[in-house]
Amino acid sequence: MKKIGHTLVIFFIVLLLTLTSPLLGIAQNPTQPENKIDGFPVMLDGKTLFFIRRGVSSFSAEERANTITRRIERIAQNDSIPIENLTIEQIPDDNSLYLSIDQEVILTVTERDAKAYRSTPEVLAQQALQKIQVAIAQYRQDRKPEQLLKNIIYTVIATFSFLIISFAVIKISGKLFPFIRRLIESLTPGIQIGNIEIVSSSKISFFWLRVLRMIRLFILFLLTFNYATFVLRLFPWTRVFGESILGYFSRSLELVLSSIGKYLPNAFIIAIIIFVTYYLIRLIKPFFTAIERGNLVIPGFYTDWAKPTYNLLLVIIIALAAIVAFPYLPGFDSPAFRGVSVFLGLLLSLGSTSAIANVIGGIILIYTRAFRIGDHIQVGDVIGDLIEKNFLVIRICTPTNKIITIPNSSLLSSNVINFSISSRELNRNLIIQTTITLGYDLPWRKAHKTLIEAALETDHILKEPAPFVLQTSLDNFYISYQLNAYTNQPNLMVIIYSELHQNIQDKCNEAGIEILSPSYTSLRDGNTTTIPENYLPSDYAAPPFRVQSSDNQENNTF
């Protein structure tokens, strides 16, 4: 019941808008505008009897029409005046004719009136007499109590019929639509591209359910419209509104159909443009697919360029097709369409500066082949795996699973370090480096051996090429040893570094090497030299400490 009420509210709102539109038009135009061909109408009960095209003496055509209309209305409202008393009389002076009833002149027919209609005064007066008599008779017939009672009975019958039919449509459709939806869902497969389902069968069935609901709403609207116009036209006081609503709807429908008919040639041209564009896209797609898969090789054109190049061509082709089809769109030459186009163009030019910069940056990065999806890269302080790239931004997943988005325009002004590209394109594995400092008293060969053993014990460190150690500096108190090791897993750098540092600690402890950076003062008495033992003479002994008193009288050696 809630859905039924919702549906009724919607279509009654639509009905209200439909009924009020012509009424507002009538309110804004209470008098008939002048028609230079037909003249001014003489009306009774909202119906035009004939037109006055010429004035008489000081009366204009409009004043004559209004005066005749008021006289006919006054006679029609007086049931005591029989319409048979309406006669045609002649004015002896100028042979003009006039229509009168009980010595009251209703209208005069002159030679000028007859010439305006290309007729004679007698024929014109006889036609006016017949039209007035028929209109007055109909006016009085419509207002008789027995006729009004009959119209009320028709209204009651029409109301019950309308309510029964509307309720039946809503009730039957409410039970039938779920069955139709289940039937469509069971018989219609979903739309798939490869193994990916783009549109499921349930969404397709839901779409057709919406279409059926719109059809039901349209049927209810037609029922309500016909009911309203039928009832309004039964009574003389509302007949003008009913006929105006019907005329409004008929003219609107005629305008829509005629506009559609006039637009069909343009629609045919647009259909041709869409057809050519669609098959042109389908024609070039296999070409770039073959390049991407490696089935087609073009020297200097890399496989990772295939998809972005296809996307760029797709945008260009669609843009060109839109430019060609634009002049054939409905309302293309209208000022509103041009105003909206200028506004959108200004809005895009002012608000899309950064977006265009990002697009240009994305294109440059794609064709410079700075990175691929899955590469381990570093941009500024951000390091991680590249998980997405497009014409606007890239997204990096850090070792802590944080997703960081970086605009392409920022990449053009930043240093981008790619840890994966050397092994993929140059066949050179990545070298990871770590540095420790040890004192001069430790033989450098022992330090090299210990560090290399620690590297070989680490997972994902390659045995070949073998790790190596570089002494990067000889500082005042210690030596800097840089361990270099090859790996083919740059995405695991954080784990490799952690395990490598653990193994360096273990191997140094096993070899009796204390990892520290010694510092010395100028007092060297009593300390063993830091030169390794294998470089010292066999009779070398550490010098003793010398202690001297403050008065220099005693010098003791320990």
* Domain end residue (candidates: 143, 164, 195): 143
Residue with tokens 């506004």: 343
| HEC secondary structure over 417-481 | EECCHHHHHCCCCEEEEEEEEEECCCCHHHHHHHHHHHHHCCCCCCCCCCCEEEEEEECCCEEEE
**Are 414 and 433 found together in one domain?**
no
Question: What tokens does 213 get?
Answer: 């609901």
**Are 436 and 406 found together in one domain?**
no
Q: Which residues of the chain have pLDDT under 50?
A: 18-19, 21-36, 554, 557
Residue 241 makes CB contacts below 8 A (sequence gap 6+) with 22, 23, 26, 232
Q: Which domain holds residue 358?
A: 337-366+373-423
Is residue 85, in this structure, part of any structural domain at all?
yes
CB 15 within 8 A of CB 229: no
pLDDT tens for 159-197 read 999 999 999 999 998 888 888 888 888 888 877 766 666
Q: What is the pLDDT of residue 351?
A: 63
**Are 47 and 138 found together in one domain?**
yes
Q: How many domains does the chain have?
A: 4
**Are 139 and 66 found together in one domain?**
yes
CATH code, domain with 418: 2.30.30.60
**Are 46 and 139 found together in one domain?**
yes
Q: What is the pLDDT of residue 366?
A: 77
CB 448 within 8 A of CB 491: no
Is residue 120, in this structure, part of any structural domain at all?
yes
**Are 378 and 328 found together in one domain?**
no
Q: What is the pLDDT of residue 28?
A: 40
Is residue 217, in this structure, part of any structural domain at all?
no
Q: What is the pLDDT of residue 500?
A: 94
* Domain end residue (candidates: 84, 117, 143): 143
* Domain end residue (candidates: 115, 143, 171): 143
**Are 60 and 87 found together in one domain?**
yes
Q: Give all strands (DSSP E) within 135-230, no chain letters.
A: 191-193, 196-199
Number of helices (H) and strands (E) in the chain: give both, helices first: 14, 17
Is residue 176, in this structure, part of any structural domain at all?
no
**Are 416 and 437 found together in one domain?**
no
Q: What is the pLDDT of residue 369?
A: 78
The total number of residues shown for the chain amounts to: 558
**Are 134 and 51 found together in one domain?**
yes
**Are 394 and 457 found together in one domain?**
no
**Are 398 and 442 found together in one domain?**
no
Question: What tokens does 356 get?
Answer: 């265009």
CATH code, domain with 488: 3.30.70.100
**Are 329 and 354 found together in one domain?**
no
